[in-house]
A and B are shown apart, each in its own frame.
Chain A
Amino acid sequence: MTRISDPRAITGRLFKWLFIGLVFVYLYLPMAVLVTNSFNKSKYGHNWAGFSLKWYQELFDNNAMMQAFGHSLLVAALAATAATLIGTLMALAIHRYRFPLKSATSSLLFVLMMSPDIVLAITFLIIFIALGIQLGFWSLLIAHITFCLPFVVITVYAQMKSLDPNILEAAQDLGASEARIFRVIILPLMAPAVLAGWLLSFTLSLDDVIISSFVTGPGFEILPIRVFSMVKVGVSPEVNALATLLLVLSLTLVAVTTWLIKRQKNQ
């Protein structure tokens, strides 16, 4: 590199940094404001009254909120687990076996994934009413499993397609039964994708508002709906504290996943 700087190069570099800076501001400023405000003593976000953990204190003392948070985690964990189990088996079936309506099954998954939430929400509501299922925990869980399913199938299927089919034949050739092949070859090799599918489902379930608000009843409140109804009467700083906690939770999950996948690859 020469030390003599071309003015055009300087301008170019300036624009590059300006552009990157704008992208970062646009993406992360709102989150930074939120996190900062969660530690703000003042109830109002536009002035800084000193560091405080009182909003966290209030959040933990808010029983209704904590209960909704617990419900949300429960539904997310159950829905993600169920969707992962069903979805992994579906991906396996679509990849490995021939059965009637196979292509219809995989195309319908895309339809499900692309459908606007509001359409799904109304569909679920109509079905639950028609079947006489009471709106509450079960209706919510069923709906969440359904909308998480395609994401799991697509994640796992993509990974399966990258698998050398000869590997499965080699296992069979060496005497492994179909069940053994699934347990010792497919599952370990699919683990990163299965985990990714679970985490994706967990996140999708945790932050769903539209479908949930249609299919849950007054007896079973979950966090996004609770927050949604709270902000109607003005944003409480408790929500900032809650959002910060959720942010930390999801960052941790992402970090753990990345680390697991990396470790698997390095092995």
Chain B
Amino acid sequence: MSSSSFLALKQITKRFDSHAVLYEFDLNIEDGEFFTILGPSGCGKTTVLRLIAGFEAPDEGKIVLDGTDISRLEAEKRPTNTVFQSYALFPHMTVFDNVAFGLKMAGVAKADIRSRVREALAVVQLTDFEQRKPHQLSGGQKQRVAIARAIVNQPKVLLLDESLSALDYKLRKQMQIELKRIQRQLGITFIYVTHDQEEALSMSDRVLVMNNGQPQQVGTPREIYESPRNLFVARFIGEINVFDATIIEARDDFQYLAQIHDKQWVIHANQRLEPGDKVHVLLRPEDLRIEYLEDANEADGMIGEVVESNYTGKTLDSVIRLDNGVTVQASEFFNEDDPDFAYKINQRVWVNWVHGWEHVIKADELS
């Protein structure tokens, strides 16, 4: 990575009671991007955020923000602000005083405070609530106040710690769009921590997937979803079918002949593989194609039996047990030719996929 990134964590090690939560951890974030750290709980993602905010000090390593080493700077002096999961509004202060808090601490003149608080509240669309107390606000409104309070100081980086997880589904969706809009409007770097992969994919410019204190993959949502680097990333981001395969021979242009269970397939991999290599062939449920056994050509796919089929509104999600014992999941969109297609339980089907849509990773790279 280039050394000129806006925010860089360099070889950070952080221990709690001699247990290393992060070990020689590197992270580079660009100016103005919406960056999400995604991982299961306890993976160290919140620790990364707290290190950047200054609530924790690294045992080893450096944090450089915009050319300045901030590793030893106290939290109150860092040009970062945090939106907490619990909102952490000051309960004894009005919305106005909550938002004005950071400006008062910075010694901003009274007249400026008024206009800047108004501006921040306008950004989060909460203009008429200045004199309310936090307990008079709904969850979504508290969330907006917390955001206004954090952006009013014009931080270089805004840190959001699972900030939407306390909201209900509909409000969360709405706030995701709001956050994106606020981030575009202000141009501030956002670092968002979450365990919700859907949230991560829909909001971010780039995503870091973490597990056990180790970065697993950094990339755009599309890269993370379509080309996971290892099995952990593949399985953590959405549903996925994993077929174990062995390379038989190399064809040209990254095409390989591979043995998957009892059948040979031509697969596409964007890396060099040798005959004998063990690989995983990854397929998202929506990449699978299913046909009634009687409609299919002999040469197509694997045969199996529908064990479950659920209508979700947008898609028909099915679980199919293949004759070789493997269970796969398929998700099919309804199409206008056959709007009420469905499967009976125990129905015999062919399972296939659009060739070239598979993603192949080497088996020894898995975590």
Contacts and interface: CB of A to CB of B under 8 A. Distances in A.
B92 A188 contact: yes
Interface centre among A169, A171, A175 (most CB of B within 10 A): A175
Interface string B50-61: 000111000000
Contacts of A267: 92, 133
Contacts of A177: 76
A169 B75 CA distance: 9
Interface stretch (B17-25, B100-108, B305-313): B100-108
A84 B203 CA distance: 50
A172 B88 contact: no
B91 interface: yes
Interface string B285-327: 0000000000000000000000000000000000000000000
Contact of B82 (A164, A173, A185): A173
Give chain A's interface secondary structure class.
Answer: helix
Contacts of A32: none
Given A169-B82, A173-B82, A180 B105 contact: yes
B364 to A, nearest CB: 43
A236 B183 CA distance: 79
Contact of A166 (B81, B84, B102): B84
A174 B88 contact: no
Contact of B75 (A173, A180, A185, A264): A173
B344 to A, nearest CB: 53
Contact of A174 (B85, B105, B133): B105
Given A164-B86, A176-B76, A177-B76, A171 B91 contact: no
B14 interface: no
11 contacts: A169-B75, A171-B101, A172-B75, A172-B76, A173-B76, A174-B76, A174-B81, A175-B105, A175-B153, A176-B101, A185-B90
Given A189-B91, A267-B133, A174 B86 contact: no
Given A170-B90, A171-B90, A174-B153, 13 more contacts: A164-B88, A166-B86, A167-B88, A167-B91, A169-B75, A170-B82, A170-B89, A170-B149, A173-B53, A173-B150, A174-B81, A176-B105, A189-B92
Nearest to A178: B76
Interface string A254-267: 00000000001001
A176 B104 CA distance: 9
Contacts of A164: 86, 88
Contacts of B82: 169-170, 173
Contacts of B80: 173
Nearest to B105: A175
Interface string A146-168: 00000000000000000010110
Contact of B101 (A174, A188, A189, A264): A174
Contacts of B102: 174-175
Interface string A167-201: 10111111111001000010011000000000000
A159 to B, nearest CB: 12
Interface in A98-132: none
Nearest to A181: B76
